[in-house]
Structure 1
């Protein structure tokens, strides 16, 4: 038996003896969104009235309603800033009503229609927020199934756009054709993934395809698979390649990676997130806090050598904001100019340390500071030369008639502090010691000398150095067994405050780490290779998160030595963090900066 579609509700109805429907907010192929007033809590809310299309049997309709209940309740547990909050799900008239956060905003679809195609930076910023929402949902086992511009709300604020993804698992089609097959809502043909168009099982990669199409639409004003008929759109999705994204610029690799028809070959959320973060940093101009740095090739066998800032970037002043990158949700963090480093936090890190674009964990000094520093250095050289010339003949001689040797102080080898107990609730404590020469590394360690000039002690048995395309200024070392890694990043110059960088950057990157928990963002007032109680020359960003079923612990230390910005990121299992940090203390104690 085929059931009739229920009649739509009229206004002023009291739903579940609590939610008074006030006015229509939107209407789509799957129902109506109302503005309503919660008379219990005294707040305005949005109510989704789910109305399934004609042609479904009673059994199919019952299955769809049951799934809507289940997935709406799951979505209610997400609690992500880029996911619309689901407050409640109630049943009335034999069907579900979803009570959600009321967000006074335009849909992304409306933004595109009213303002035209968006620029690369804004597209990347909205895209990375959408990706953060999808990643959080996928980690919770929730699929969206209908990612498209009309299901994204965009609010304007002093800090820029906030993108909020709506209708997780509900697949509402606001104004777009929606296909069904035996009661299964498939989504919008111009945005659906090829595997779903073929009737195969959906997975996280299916949502990422739809994100790729949405990025294309933001830049070009329409989906590359948009056709006059739904079936023609499905055929295009399955068998046709999209037109090249001519307006994509730096976004081209992301869009092309997300639009690979084979889901097993499609770019994953981690790689896409890293690239989107980098694009936002590189496209953002900050003349006071950021220095343009060379973008090294994506793949190379040796880490890039520090280079003079190229005359590229925004034509107004040539500067580009540099930020941290996250290697992966279980990866190290790097930091940007003006922010800590991806995690810069995949991984994340930043004061000092300024980093080269493309990965690292360093922040950049302002151009004025560099100029002033150069002038001061020249004056000091002149003064010292004059003083030495005037005193050359008056120095006391030794018995051999030469100048008396200068007194030198002996370097004291540090002793290890007691190992902190393994806990994700207490900040890490690195032994407060001096930095002995790299040649004095303990047994079981060896010195890695980077071609850019710095050196660091590395435990024997760790594989590396490895270079990764998403962070070309970094080198990575991986343990012989178990998860984790060591990441060293660098930049030719450093920013004015590592501590401020981390505080500014953390809110934008914490969403990249499932079940993120911050332990501290604080100055390195005790520890190596640099300590500074103000946090200007050295600061730590420490946190824990979940990755592939294991709780990981990350420490992103940004610091300045010899005028260069560096970051050392350590990621290891949280359950053994205290012992790991103690065992790897030589990492910090034996680091030597480039001259």
Structure 2
């Protein structure tokens, strides 16, 4: 059913749905367009509508062959504050009109072709040359955005469209600025982190402010997925994915040219400062492209099938949770020995690790080496253990003697032995008290 968006556009049918809203095929004064309607719960937030209105120049000003252009921005008329436009049209043009029903909508160029997730699901893996060409194009678009001070923050295959109207498919990055605007604190409160765990940089997981380097990390994660068919740290519970992003090293891809793999490793570094900038990444990838022509997709087998073959039969029902398409569960890589460097955290020394007399953490030690603070290897500890052993043995003897006395009719009211007072012989008492001390 058609619906009016603003005063210039009409939405006809749904093209796709995402985490932030729904994309419609629409019609405007200049022909077909794509209209992204934000979810109703987001559009109902007056602060979010105001932030979108304030960011209109950033949203409308990004122009690049590898970025989906935003033509107009529609926001509710009553939520933008006094003196502000109800809808933001082109930077030099008139407003688009009031948002219908309190809607927030971005009117974008229509891209004729699938998103990268659909393409990857169909192809399973891409040849290195194709994967590098797509990544280089998106990196060049990111370079323009980063130069304008805009960080995407949600680079993933679903946000990369493939324009198939020309001779060669052209990759375009969409949804610029949406994650940032939705994730901003409202009235000084805390907001949840917006993003997809498989592509989230370690510094975001640890709560650091997202800079341009997070887009580089996410984009090269996409490149890894295009080549391998799965993300480096994906699979399983989202919390486990986030933990791997911080603690594990990326696993190498067999058969990949060394220069390309070294470039990917650099951009997947835990330390943001170690990663390349977007313009550098685009340039380096284009330099590598000629040598990659003709190489077939990597032959890595199917990790999902491998997991199924190795899993015991009685575990099949336990692991019944559905896996994301093209992102199967992968085995954990070796722990990253430099995991603390990306946050510049101070590493505790050996004394702090030992924890002192009441500490719980222990410094690594060779087999057989005494552990710091342990009484197990001390002389005093050995004496205490000997006294305890003798006492326990004496108590056992006493218990046996009392049982014998009771069974023979002795005890406090019966005939006493050796002294008539019901007590055990003096020699037995000496044993219970332990050996004489020097």
The offset of 1:115, in angstroms, is: 0.9
Distance change in 2, residues 1:279/1:30 (3 Å): same
The question of 1:113 aligning with 2:103 is answered no
Structure 2 distance, partners of 1:258, 1:71, is 29
| Match of residue 64, structure 2, among 36, 60, 80 | 80
Post-superposition CA distance 1:541-578 (Å, at most 9, x none): xxxxxxxxxxxxxxxxxxxxxxxxxxxxxxxxxxxxxx
The question of 1:273 aligning with 2:282 is answered yes
Structure 2 counterpart of 1:223 = 231
| Match of residue 51, structure 1, among 39, 42, 61 | 39
Determine which structure has the larger strand proportion and give its number. Answer: 1
Structure 2 distance, partners of 1:146, 1:52, is 20
Aligned ranges 1:472-491 → 2 under 5 Å: none
Structure 1 distance, partners of 2:104, 2:263, is 37
The question of 1:137 aligning with 2:140 is answered no
The offset of 1:53, in angstroms, is: 5.9
Aligned ranges 1:266-415 → 2 under 5 Å: 266-284=275-293
Paired residue secondary structure (1:36): strand
Aligned ranges 1:529-540 → 2 under 5 Å: none
Structure 2 counterpart of 1:501 = none
The offset of 1:13, in angstroms, is: 1.1
The question of 1:260 aligning with 2:265 is answered no
Structure 2 distance, partners of 1:247, 1:64, is 47
Distance change in 2, residues 1:70/1:83 (3 Å): farther
The offset of 1:284, in angstroms, is: 3.9
Distance change in 2, residues 1:71/1:148 (3 Å): farther
The question of 1:169 aligning with 2:177 is answered yes
Kept after mapping to 2: 8 A contact 1:71/1:142 = no
Distance change in 2, residues 1:18/1:157 (3 Å): closer
Structure 2 distance, partners of 1:212, 1:225, is 13
Paired residue secondary structure (2:154): coil
Distance change in 2, residues 1:84/1:197 (3 Å): same
Distance change in 2, residues 1:247/1:203 (3 Å): farther
Kept after mapping to 2: 8 A contact 1:124/1:251 = no
The question of 1:17 aligning with 2:7 is answered yes
Q: Which has the greater radius of gyration? A: 2
Gap regions ≥5 residues in structure 1: 1-10, 173-179, 286-312, 315-595
Structure 2 distance, partners of 1:120, 1:246, is 13
Determine which structure has the larger helix proportion and give its number. Answer: 2
Kept after mapping to 1: 8 A contact 2:26/2:32 = yes
TM-score, with structure 2 as normaliser: 0.56
Distance change in 2, residues 1:97/1:184 (3 Å): farther
Gap regions ≥5 residues in structure 2: 76-98, 181-185, 297-438
